[in-house]
């Protein structure tokens, strides 16, 4: 199960997010385990939003990760620009749609900080 928790302040501004765990969606077929396409999709979306925020939008981020456990923590060091908020909103939307389809493998949460 992958859990993604978005942190927002009392005014609704994003402060960061944590992604933890492996989706566990891979299926066994013909004696082999297929690649976990859900985990790959979550990873691609997560890498995309971090790279977009950092490299394109120029946001200052603190990123901590552990590939083995599927842990990524991304803290926004300042208030996000409007364009950056759109990137994060798009990430939230995509993950939320996946969570509707794969509720046993992905959970999206929000936490006030």
CB 25 within 8 A of CB 38: yes
Q: How many folded domains does the chain comprise?
A: 1
* Residue entry with tokens 């389809």: 101
In this structure, what CATH number is given to the domain that contains residue 57? 3.30.70.1490
* Residue 49: domain span: 2-112
Q: Note the helical H segments in the chain.
A: 37-51, 82-101
Q: Are 14 and 61 in contact (CB under 8 A)?
A: no
37-76: pLDDT as tens digits: 999 999 999 999 999 999 999 999 999 999 888 899 999 9
Q: What is the pLDDT of residues 2-28, one digit of tens each?
A: 999 999 999 999 999 999 998 988 877
Are the CB atoms for 26 and 40 separated by under 8 Å? no
Per-residue pLDDT, 99:
98
**How far apart (Å, rounded) are the C-alpha atoms in residues 40 and 42?**
6
pLDDT surpasses 90 at 32: no
The per-residue pLDDT for 56 is: 96
């Amino acid at each position: 199960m992958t859990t993604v928790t978005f942190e927002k302040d009392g005014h609704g501004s994003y402060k960061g997010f944590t992604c933890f765990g492996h989706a566990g969606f891979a299926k066994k077929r013909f004696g082999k385990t297929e690649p976990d396409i859900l985990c790959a999709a979550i990873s691609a979306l997560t890498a995309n939003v971090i790279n977009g925020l950092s490299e394109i939008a120029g946001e200052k981020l603190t990123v901590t990760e552990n590939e083995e456990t599927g842990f990524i923590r991304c803290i926004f060091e300042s208030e996000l620009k409007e364009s950056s908020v759109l990137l994060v909103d798009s990430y939230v939307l995509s993950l939320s749609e996946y969570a509707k389809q794969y509720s046993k493998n992905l959970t999206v949460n929000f936490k006030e900080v």
